[in-house]
Chains A and B, each alone.
Chain A
Amino acid sequence: MSDADAPLRPPLITGDKSLSDITRDICVPMERKPTGLWWAAFLVSAAALTVGVAAVWYQLVTGIGTWGLNRTVGWGFDITNFVFWVGIGHAGTLISAVLFLFRQKWRTAVNRSAEAMTLFAVMCAGIFPLIHMGRTWLAYWTLPYPNTRGPLWVNFRSPLLWDVFAISTYLLISAVFWYVGLIPDLATVRDRSQPGLRRRVTSILSLGWDGSARTWHRYETVYMLLAGLATPLVFSVHTIVSMDFATSVIPGWHTTIFPPYFVAGAIFSGLAMVLTLMLIARRVMHLEDYVTLTHIERMSLLMLSMGCIVGFAYGTEFFMAAYSGNPYEQFVFKNRALGPLSGAYWTMVTCNVVVPQLLWFRSVRRSLPLVFMIAILVNVGMWFERFVIIVTSLHRDFLPSSWAHYIPTSIEIATFVGSFGLFFTCFLIFCRIAPAIAIAEVKGAAGLKKRPAMRRVDAQSSAVAPGTVAAETAKPAGVS
């Protein structure tokens, strides 16, 4: 339904913009010199990144022993962070692709940064399985390439190998999706720029885009295909990530509920991250006209519903454990809630289930500070969810003799901080070098109609039947 046809809905873009206003508004922030705020943010992120790089370097040189893992808890911060970042990475694609397929026009305000976020989050995520390997330098052995060892292939039965394919496919497809979306905008930037570096780079990267309708026509097809591919991909990736646990034998991991549970969690955490970033970007980059309260409210509602789904999953896990009659399973869940790591469990429940219930109130949804706070808490809670799933299941499994504790070391924490550093550094650089909002899509979705509308009547005198024109113009922008 077109916004033009639905006057009750508030407009997606406020502030009475023309097409070139949109171009200017979006391009100017990246053409200006960076603000002090940007620099401050950048320095903080870069410092965090440096800390992370140092920690990873030390770990690679010295050994995984610099992490707090042990013979019982083989995964801790590493895979927690991995799943956390993958989860965040999912919202980007979901917002971009799923909302595209559902013709939700408000996505245009956020899809570019959401996609970039996906890309950077998946980068951060991908680093963890790499560095968590005892011999990172042999990571390429997980690829089935012809070799002189027989050839010795890989184990396609291992969920970790599925992960390799899922994560790399996801990274590549996200990157392509993002880049394809960026091409017309790069052309716009190119044509705005003075001769110089920016122009040279954008003209290479825009691949000679000239705005031809024929190209646009194919482009739209491919974009829709990519969106169509990315949607099941998102589901498959987190399904596969969940299978790392679900296909194992460890009580607390071995459960069929994990794929939908993980996907819901991923969307949840992703939405929270997008909200967090959008609220910052909106403020910092003065995009109040593009990221409106309506957007925020809709995202909040989505987050609320995801929070409820996740909460339902938590409950279901307990029900299934109790109902299964499997003492190991029952123990793991009781141990989660009441054992030595119950703090993590209750943090998770509070942040992910209890706090989001505030979003039932419209006043909360429309209060930016509150929404921001809730989004941050959901991020925290979702990190703890992964921690709870991984560590509390591992630390006390079948044989009591091998029960163990897990305390992260400074190196692990520094690595985690570093992943945030990487994410924000990349994001801040992205804001400086590429249009943070999809210009062409905003223009297309803005529904800028000709004023005054009566002018169209004049056209009747020409060879065109007015009714046809009106119908044909309205339709594609609307329901179809």
Chain B
Amino acid sequence: MHRTVLNIILLVGLSFSLIVLISGMSAWRLPDNQQGYAPPQPIEYSHRLHAGELGLDCRFCHTAAEHGRHAGIPSTDVCMKCHRFVTASFDVMQDELTQADKEKRKPKAIVSDELQKLYDSLGLTDPQQPVSDSLSTSIPWVRVHNLPDYVYFDHSAHVTAGVTCQKCHGPVESMERLRQFEPLSMGWCVNCHRESTENGINGRAVRASTDCAVCHF
């Protein structure tokens, strides 16, 4: 009798721990897998806002993606193309304008905390000031997508072939903070190469080689 009860308890316990274990498996990663990595960045830049809501094309900022190996983290002066004028969120600036209009005064300059960091890095006291190389320092962005040193991935080759940015980077336009969406493991690369060779990209036949020397040299 006792034994039966004990057995039942054991069985329940076992199945429970199995369920926990299996559900934990999905969160378990191999040591080098950085999938889901989303480190805090020095400036809380929102891809969702820029690429999603405002609909900027990726290549508007990441200009090198078409031309070179690296997509390139945009240089800070690229930000200044807009942020010379846009110094805070649209709503806040709009409110201030209305308010100033109402109060019949000149609108105050409103600079958001995050954009202030941008101006600081360029050594600007006034966003309208021209950017000078000598005053500015680089913003130490934290690298999210980082392949091992022995892997040579060329952005331009993929962009030219018609691979969308999202194919590797995931729905960046919906990410508040950038996150590594795909595992970026070798198998993941290879399978995409195989699939593309078989089915083409956007209906165009391509030959995505799986030779070692395509990525490793």
Q: Which residue of A lies closest to B32 (CB)?
A: A148
Q: Which residue of A lies closest to B191 (CB)?
A: A150
A149 at the interface (CB under 8 A from B): yes
Q: How many A-B residue pairs have CB under 8 A?
A: 20
Taking CB atoms, residues of chain B closer than 8 Å to A147 are: 187
- Max chain B CB contacts within 10 Å: which of A147, A149, A150? A150
- Distance in angstroms between the alpha carbons of A149 and B136 in the assembled complex: 42
- Distance in angstroms between the alpha carbons of A150 and B30 in the assembled complex: 15
- Distance in angstroms between the alpha carbons of A148 and B32 in the assembled complex: 10
Quick one: which of A148, A150, A152 contacts B183, CB cutoff 8 A? A148
B186 at the interface (CB under 8 A from A): yes
Contact A148 B30 (CB under 8 A): yes
Q: Which of A135-155 contact B (CB under 8 A)?
A: 147-152
- Distance in angstroms between the alpha carbons of A151 and B190 in the assembled complex: 9
Taking CB atoms, residues of chain B closer than 8 Å to A148 are: 30, 33, 183, 185-188
The 8 A CB mask of B109-148 against A (1 = contact, 0 = none) is 0000000000000000000000000000000000000000
Number of A residues with CB within 8 Å of any CB on chain B = 6
Q: How distant is B189 from chain A, measured CB to nearest CB, in Å?
A: 8
Q: Which of A20-38 contact B (CB under 8 A)?
A: none
- Distance in angstroms between the alpha carbons of A148 and B30 in the assembled complex: 9
- Distance in angstroms between the alpha carbons of A151 and B188 in the assembled complex: 9
- Max chain B CB contacts within 10 Å: which of A147, A148, A152? A148
Q: Which residue of B lies closest to A149 (CB)?
A: B186
Q: How distant is A141 from chain B, measured CB to nearest CB, in Å?
A: 13
Q: Which residue of B lies closest to A147 (CB)?
A: B187
Q: How distant is B35 from chain A, measured CB to nearest CB, in Å?
A: 11
- Distance in angstroms between the alpha carbons of A365 and B30 in the assembled complex: 61
- Distance in angstroms between the alpha carbons of A147 and B30 in the assembled complex: 10
Taking CB atoms, residues of chain B closer than 8 Å to A149 are: 185-187, 190
Q: How distant is A123 from chain B, measured CB to nearest CB, in Å?
A: 29
Q: How distant is B197 from chain A, measured CB to nearest CB, in Å?
A: 14
Q: Which of B175-192 contact A (CB under 8 A)?
A: 183, 185-188, 190-191
Q: How distant is B56 from chain A, measured CB to nearest CB, in Å?
A: 34
- Distance in angstroms between the alpha carbons of A395 and B183 in the assembled complex: 46
The 8 A CB mask of B158-201 against A (1 = contact, 0 = none) is 00000000000000000000000001011110110000000000
- Distance in angstroms between the alpha carbons of A148 and B186 in the assembled complex: 6
Q: How distant is B191 from chain A, measured CB to nearest CB, in Å?
A: 7
Q: How distant is A138 from chain B, measured CB to nearest CB, in Å?
A: 13
The 8 A CB mask of A396-420 against B (1 = contact, 0 = none) is 0000000000000000000000000
Q: How distant is B96 from chain A, measured CB to nearest CB, in Å?
A: 52
Q: How distant is B71 from chain A, measured CB to nearest CB, in Å?
A: 24
Taking CB atoms, residues of chain A closer than 8 Å to B191 are: 150
Q: How distant is A75 from chain B, measured CB to nearest CB, in Å?
A: 25
Taking CB atoms, residues of chain B closer than 8 Å to A150 are: 186-187, 190-191, 210
- Distance in angstroms between the alpha carbons of A151 and B210 in the assembled complex: 12
Q: How distant is A143 from chain B, measured CB to nearest CB, in Å?
A: 16
- Distance in angstroms between the alpha carbons of A151 and B189 in the assembled complex: 11
- Distance in angstroms between the alpha carbons of A180 and B187 in the assembled complex: 42
Q: How distant is A480 from chain B, measured CB to nearest CB, in Å?
A: 49
Q: How distant is A41 from chain B, measured CB to nearest CB, in Å?
A: 44
- Distance in angstroms between the alpha carbons of A165 and B185 in the assembled complex: 28
- Distance in angstroms between the alpha carbons of A156 and B102 in the assembled complex: 82
The 8 A CB mask of A105-149 against B (1 = contact, 0 = none) is 000000000000000000000000000000000000000000111
- Distance in angstroms between the alpha carbons of A18 and B191 in the assembled complex: 71
Q: Which residue of B lies closest to A146 (CB)?
A: B187
Taking CB atoms, residues of chain A closer than 8 Å to B186 are: 148-150, 152
Taking CB atoms, residues of chain A closer than 8 Å to B187 are: 147-152
- Distance in angstroms between the alpha carbons of A151 and B185 in the assembled complex: 10
Taking CB atoms, residues of chain A closer than 8 Å to B190 are: 149-150
Q: Which residue of A lies closest to B210 (CB)?
A: A150
- Distance in angstroms between the alpha carbons of A16 and B39 in the assembled complex: 82
- Distance in angstroms between the alpha carbons of A479 and B188 in the assembled complex: 64
Q: Which residue of A lies closest to B183 (CB)?
A: A148
- Distance in angstroms between the alpha carbons of A53 and B11 in the assembled complex: 47
Q: Which residue of B lies closest to A152 (CB)?
A: B186
Q: Which residue of A lies closest to B30 (CB)?
A: A148
Q: How distant is A67 from chain B, measured CB to nearest CB, in Å?
A: 26
Taking CB atoms, residues of chain A closer than 8 Å to B183 are: 148
Q: How distant is A137 from chain B, measured CB to nearest CB, in Å?
A: 13
Q: How distant is B178 from chain A, measured CB to nearest CB, in Å?
A: 23
Taking CB atoms, residues of chain A closer than 8 Å to B210 are: 150
The 8 A CB mask of B96-113 against A (1 = contact, 0 = none) is 000000000000000000
- Distance in angstroms between the alpha carbons of A151 and B191 in the assembled complex: 9
The 8 A CB mask of A289-316 against B (1 = contact, 0 = none) is 0000000000000000000000000000
Taking CB atoms, residues of chain A closer than 8 Å to B30 are: 148
Q: Which of A145-172 contact B (CB under 8 A)?
A: 147-152
- Distance in angstroms between the alpha carbons of A149 and B33 in the assembled complex: 12
- Distance in angstroms between the alpha carbons of A151 and B186 in the assembled complex: 8
- Distance in angstroms between the alpha carbons of A375 and B185 in the assembled complex: 55
Q: How distant is A150 from chain B, measured CB to nearest CB, in Å?
A: 4
Q: How distant is B107 from chain A, measured CB to nearest CB, in Å?
A: 56
- Distance in angstroms between the alpha carbons of A261 and B187 in the assembled complex: 43
Q: How distant is B209 from chain A, measured CB to nearest CB, in Å?
A: 13
- Distance in angstroms between the alpha carbons of A108 and B191 in the assembled complex: 57
- Distance in angstroms between the alpha carbons of A152 and B191 in the assembled complex: 11
Sampled A-B contacts (6; CB under 8 Å) = A148-B183, A148-B186, A149-B186, A149-B190, A151-B187, A152-B186
Closest 6 CB pairs of A and B: A150-B190, A148-B185, A149-B186, A148-B187, A150-B187, A149-B187
Given contacts A148-B30, A148-B188, A150-B210, 17 further A-B contacts (CB under 8 A): A147-B187, A148-B33, A148-B183, A148-B185, A148-B186, A148-B187, A149-B185, A149-B186, A149-B187, A149-B190, A150-B186, A150-B187, A150-B190, A150-B191, A151-B187, A152-B186, A152-B187
